[in-house]
Structure 1
Amino acid sequence: MTTESIPQRRVEPYSAIVMGVLAAGFAAWALLALPLQGAFILTLASVLGWTGWITFSYKRPVKSRKVIATYLCAVGFQLIHMAEEYTGGFPHEIVELFDSPRDWPEEQFLLVFVFGFGALYFFAGAGALYRIRAANFFLWWYALGAGLLNGISHFVFPVIKGGYFPGLYTAGGHLVMSALLIYFLIQEHRKLKREDEPG
């Protein structure tokens, strides 16, 4: 049998469409409801997460326990980071930093970004164990958005303020965890791609 006669596996497009619509809806909500500087970071995180997912893990969802374990450790660290943000009054501070006309209620910050996303992150980890495509989106959402982009922004905010900004002390951990996760995700992509190649 020649390689030309080997049937190519079709990849269902529905997960990409559904997650794209959900990511766009979340970005639209953030742009309409949150201080624009925070909303911009979340919108860019959605774009980066979806792009990374489609490029590397959509066709071949991860199956390495090392990748999923790294992701879950990163999510655990995210909760530690958000504890620093919460105790430092991050929602209020970002409104003050950029003199935003929009308030960011503390209850909204807790319900959406700590409890809501915290639950989604762990559900996604469970889904990734079973190679569910949509669950893999959140691996990239953390790696490029909540980890890398968020970590970088927490080093920019203190420069703008001229002093400590909530989340600074744990921002370095974000960069380390996201860099490690990105490395493992790309490594996994290459490994799965080699396994798919004929011969």
Structure 2
Amino acid sequence: MTKRPEPYSATVMAILALVFCAWALFTLPIQGAVILVVASVLGWSGWIAFSYTRPVKSRKVIAIYLCAVGFQLIHMAEEYTGGFPHEIVELFDSPRDWPENEFLLVFVFGFGALYFFAGAGALYRIRVANFFLWWYALGAGLLNGIAHFVFPIIKGGYFPGLYTAAGHLVMSGLLIYFLVKENRRLKAADQASEPLLVR
């Protein structure tokens, strides 16, 4: 039988995700915060369902993830030059401001560093690092990409991040496909290595 993993990583990441979601809900414009909350729930759920018991082993999957993170930085450059924090506040007439320096420090530099540290951790099959692979795949990639096609419809014109949103959908789709495929491969390998039960 496959050995069950320790439960502590899942608990710690759930607590950290809750703290992050609470911070987002109490400080950011509510529409942006809701996207981050949904991204956290999706990321944690994907991680638990597919990569928690069997952390990613394939370097191909990690390479795709790192390419996706590199693309995320390109996307955020478009957001920054287009004034995304100010535009989202204006779009939804939010009473909360979103200072550009906070956007840069937290979401570009902070998360950017965290994404690359997670890539390094994933090379060594560190369980917590795999959470961030799913955070990008389902949250920062898929959900964010979809949102960037919705914002221009609401505004009735260009919204910062639109030009690179399709790339998000492509990169996240590739990453999701290979993460699920990797899970199936590792599961099959585990089952093949289990000794036959003697009746």
**CA distance in structure 1 between the partners assigned to 2:2 and 2:83 by the alignment:** 52
Q: CA deviation at 1:8?
A: 4.2
Instruction: Point out 4+ residue stretches in structure 1 off by more than 2 angstroms.
Output: none
The alpha-carbon deviation at position 9 of structure 1 amounts to 1.2
Q: Within 2, Cα distance between the matches of 1:28 and 1:45?
A: 13
How is 1:1-199 mapped onto 2 (pairs within 5 angstroms)?
Answer: 8-197=2-191, 198=194
Q: Deviations over 1:39-60 (max 9, x none)?
A: 0000000000000000000000
Unpaired runs of 5+ residues, structure 1, are 1-6
Q: Supply the distance in 1 between the matched residues of 2:142 and 2:71 (Cα, whole angstroms).
A: 13
Distance across 2 between alignment mates of 1:10 and 1:191: 18
Letter in 1 for 2:69: V
Question: What is the root-mean-square deviation in Å for CA atoms of aligned residues?
Answer: 0.7
TM, length-normalised to structure 1: 0.96
Scaled by the length of structure 2, the TM-score of the pair is 0.96
Structure 1 letter corresponding to 2:130? N
3-state SS of the aligned residue for 1:172?
helix
Percent identity, aligned pairs only, is 81
Superposed CA deviations along residues 125-173 of structure 1, whole A, max 9, x for unmatched, are 0000000000000000000000000000000000000000000000000
The CA distance in 1 between the partners of 2:87 and 2:137, in whole Å, is: 25
Moved more, 165-174 or 10-19: 10-19
